[in-house]
Amino acid sequence: MTMVRLIMDPRRATPRAPAASPPITEISFCAWVAQAEPGEALVYHQGFLVVDADKLLSDLSPEDRETLRRLADAAFRAAQQDLVHLVQARLATDHFTYIAIARPKPRRSGTALSMRLLEAA
């Protein structure tokens, strides 16, 4: 499971990913959402998410599959709360890059964004 932080190269106007990054977890995704500037992007999965997270179809270990499922759920919750846009780019047949793009933060007082995301689970 390859997950990397996306860096925008202003000279090419296309995203590029660094060679290696530590795996993204639900917690680190929520922390990224809380601190990300509007327009900043994060690649949170490469592959075919629905297959990779499926119990019967996935080649991932049960632990990696559960980590991916929690990450995908956190991304969906963040999108539901208007914190990110979720997009995907097709790399090949049945192979995609899944990207979260930070939106402007809502101007609400109260619980921190990362805590709201975790509590929504």
- pLDDT tens-digit profile, the chain (121 residues): 334 445 444 444 444 444 456 778 999 999 999 999 999 999 999 999 999 998 899 888 999 999 999 999 999 999 999 999 999 999 999 899 999 999 998 776 556 666 666 666 6
Strands 41-47 and 84-92, sheet pairing: unpaired
With a threshold of 0.75, does the pTM exceed it? no
| Residues with Cβ within 8 Å of residue 67, at least 6 apart in sequence | 1, 23, 25, 26
Strands 95-102 and 84-92, sheet pairing: antiparallel
Give the Cβ contact number of residue 82 at 10 Å. 11
| Residues with Cβ within 8 Å of residue 65, at least 6 apart in sequence | 52, 53, 54, 55, 58
User: Using N-to-C axis directions, what is the helix angle for 26-35 and 62-80, rounded to 10°?
Assistant: 30
